[in-house]
Amino acid sequence: MMFTQLLALGTCVALTQALLSKPTVPETSSFIVELADGQDAASFYSELATNGIAAVSRRNMSYSLFTGCSFDLDKHSTSTIASITKFATVKNLWPNDRRVVETPPDQDVLRVHASKVAGASENHSKHLKRQAANDTLATHVITQVDRLRAEGITGKGVKIGIVDSGVDFHHPALGGCFGPGCLIAYGHDFVDNKTEPYDNCNGHGTHIAGIIAAQPNNPYGLTGVAPGVTLGMYRVVGCSRSVDPDLAMMGINQAYEDGSDIISISSGFGSRWSEDPIAVLCQRIVNNGRVVVAAAGNNGRQGLFPNGEGSPAIGKGVAAIGSVVNPDVPQNLTVSTYSVDSPTGNLSNFAWNVGFRNASIPWAGTWPLYATSRTANITNDACQQLPADTPDLSPYVVLVRRSQDCLINVQADMIYAKNGTRIMFYGPTELTTHVDTFISIPPVGGSVPQSQGEKWLDLLNAQHRVFLEFSPEVDANTANWTIIFSPNPETGGYMSPTSSWGVSFELDVKPQFVTPGANILSTWPLDLGGYQVQSGTSMATPFAAGVYALLIEARKIRDPGTLQRILSSVAKPNLYQEASGTVHPQLAPVAWQGAGLLQAYDAAKVTTLFSVSSIAFNDTDHLNGTQTISVTNTGSTAQSYRIGYVNSATVYTFFEHLYNFAQPSPPVVDGGATLTFSSTTLTIAAGASADLTVTVVPPTGLNATRLPVYSGYITLNSTTASENLSLPFLGLDGSLYSTPVIDPTDQTYMIRDYRGGGPEDFPPGAPPNSTFTVPIPTSAEIPEDLPDQYAIPGIHVELIMGDIIATVHVLLRPLEVNGTVATKESVLGYQVVEDFFINENVYVDARLGFGYPFTGMLSDNKTIVPEGRYEWRIVALKLTGDREKREDWQERAFPFYLRYLNETGTA
């Protein structure tokens, strides 16, 4: 899983509502500052003191690529932050907002006690010899890792630094020790400031380490992508499953300082701008010759321009990694037994997903099997009332096929109507499901693969009786577990629905590649079970790191740009499968799968090299429509090539009702780009290069206001060698500049009623020029005991698209006021009472909601403004706009009247 920001999919409204009852100005805030050349933390804190700003030091960072510190401020104003950015000691300033790590549910943990793990030893310092093994994992086969491994390529001599939650280096599959000579040879615990980055409480980093380099001395035949590498681990996430950006930056910096050839970061820090501090740091690392791979994120169901989880993957030169589904899914299943013809006959094992339990209906015992249908591929099994001659089902386990025509609770209702309380579902594929509760009825449920259900049906159809036997340990959840690998032809190899879409606000091509990340079995802390299945781009990222390591050993090249170009040219794009399961005949958009699925063997052997890894054509306002790339033949003989292209699916960013993001899958629209080339054939001598000019005409006839994203692949097919290359391209058939940053519709931007204590739901918007009569304020915060009959004026701001640093203002300005009004400095030519920045000094993402109440008291100086007519005015710099040009600002205005109650409680 990903380290994610709090404002993740589905939580935007909840967080915005929580903001309504909070003060506009935070009590405390944390920041990261990059110091100007020649400055140090002491001089920065001295300058803070000189300006009367009290700060609490957090962490100092003094590294070759980043010198700075982090600090906390007590309650402050936006003007305070603005003044700090102008200090002579300051180069850059960013917020330091804590992120939360997602973790999988407990049932995903394999019940393998540490003592049962092959090779486990009480002597945790024991060095375990690295072993070779046949590599037959499906994830390795579809990425050609197995073919390189067959040639003895294991990543020898390559150092990979992992920035994560630490690692259980006692695990026998991870070498059993820490330090020089061990698989986990270096690193640091930044959470507890220890030399050993040990993890026995989180698991995320242990899982990642196993994906890269698990040794084959384990009960499941696992082997990492590159088991010959040397691993470093930098623990920046603790047991609380949260991470601070400043701590992450320390881990990333130290991984670079310690000589890591590759740095793997399965974390996201909330910004889709490459100017985010962690993205900036990673870009510097890449520019200094080291590979950085980073998770693209798990917000795929948000569609294009997803909110958050972009950094550091969004960084220029950083390899952003998306996720495809494992074609051979590992399933953690309980082992029980069955017999044929007699409950005391010979027992055979079967594996099943226990699913929903009900203490009043135990599984323990031996039960005959009854099938509601004897047809193995029925699509509507038990979707209607069962036949009248159906027996009393209470003494049976009822076998029913998961329906494609009705919901599971309908099937349960039909079975329970005949007194059936133990239901065993099967199919419709080999993948079992964790059967949930059946609404309000008592049955318990489990599931088996389609093949197991068919085997039982064959027995029943041959007039045999089948008896299922369950031990009491099933009810206690202590029964033996096993793992089976089940083929997944429906979604295997396609994009994971949760894998984040790319397209940064700078329209760079993101992600770069995809690798297997959904349903991945790997190592887990011994104290927590030893092995676990997890899903996410967190799992895809270390897989890519392992492929990079194999390529470095195979080609003896370490330059990140060259490696990225090689991998991109031979990656394998796949068709577009929507989240609904619909497969389109077009390739999946580049904004989702990048160059495609990594192909390790082809990357190691290819002799034709592109000068770029992708082409970004930008939007229609800044169309970079003609570009020249270089093609180099590094082989020993001349090669001839045919040049062409194939469009991938063009998709809309918004639904038909504008400014509503298309979720969970962007809709496909007919139309693709037209590409022309300076030549449709090339012949290049051995060791020589040739230029190829590419010109694009974006698709026509599309609704540009819905921001259609077009993409595809330039193809280069050798006619003299078996080399077929592709180069991803992407563009936007619309204008970022013309796309509103804030919603322009009155339905969203109305003056809001903010009632005391914070409403559970947004009240209806009040129309412009409404009158708000409120008690004379004693605080800038909404009083918790404010009677319900009083409404505090406020505004709710929802961002449609991202915006550049500190350029979204919510201004409270006077219109018609009797007496003197306490005004602040002019903002965009307006005299204002109060200026609220959205996310002070940070590159802002889309889909963020902000609530701004106003009691009548200014937050800075506690001044109570006079009664009168005021205006909420939202001003935001348009994307790609020039802040010095007045016409480049979008505005929305909502006037209202403010009145105070007198001491008698009347207006």
The helix (run of H) or strand (run of E) holding residue 829 is none
SS3 readout for 380-393: CCCCCCCCCCCCCC
Q: Tell me the torsion sign for CA atoms 194, 200, 202, 203.
A: positive
Show the tokens assigned to 466: 């089948």
Gap between the Cα atoms of 593 and 572, Å rounded = 10
* CB atoms closer than 10 angstroms to residue 835: 21
Phi, psi dihedrals of residue 664, rounded to the nearest 5°? -85, -10
For residues 146 and 883, give the distance between their C-alpha atoms in angstroms, rounded to a whole number: 53
DSSP H stretches of helix in 612-660: none
Looking at 271, 447, 504, 538, which residue is catalytic? 538
**Active-site pick, 164, 168, 619, 845:** 164
Q: Based on C-alpha coordinates, what's the Rg of the chain?
A: 30
Nearest-10 Cα torsion for 524, 529, 534, 537: -20
Q: Is 796 a catalytic residue?
A: no
Backbone angles phi, psi at 786, to 5 degrees: -65, 125
Q: Is 37 among the residues known to form the active site?
A: no
Nearest to 239 by CA among 631, 463, 525, 562: 525
Counting Cβ atoms within 10 Å, is residue 54 exposed (0-12), middle (13-18) or buried (19+)? exposed
Inter-residue contact 801 to 780 (CB < 8 Å): no
Token code pair at residue 49: 């003191």
| Coil, helix or strand at residue 768 | coil
Place of tokens 């009040």: 766
Residues 6+ apart with CB under 8 A from 96: 30, 31, 32, 58, 70, 244, 245, 246
Report the length, in residues, of the chain: 907
Contacts of residue 638, Cβ cutoff 8 Å, sequence gap at least 6: 683, 684, 685, 686, 720
Pairing of strands 513-518, 319-325: parallel
> CA 869 to CA 5: how far, in whole Å?
39
Sign of CA dihedral 532, 537, 540, 544: negative
How far is the C-alpha of 403 from the C-alpha of 378, rounded, in Å?
A: 8
Strands 724-732 and 615-618: parallel
Catalytic residue among 170, 171, 204, 796: 204
Alpha helices in 197-323 (DSSP H): 204-213, 245-257, 277-287
| Dihedral (CA of 860, 862, 866, 867) sign | positive
Strand (E) or helix (H) holding 646:
strand 639-647
Q: How far apart are CA 396 and CA 391, in angstroms?
A: 10
- Clarify whether 434 is annotated catalytic: no
Does residue 58 sit in helix, strand or coil?
Answer: strand
Helix (H) or strand (E) holding 794: strand 792-798
CA distance linking residue 223 with residue 216, whole number of Å: 5
| DSSP-assigned states of every residue in 552-580 | HHHH----HHHHHHHHHHH-B--EEE-TT
The reply to whether omega before 664 is within 30° of 0 (cis) is yes
As annotated, the active-site residues are: 164, 204, 538
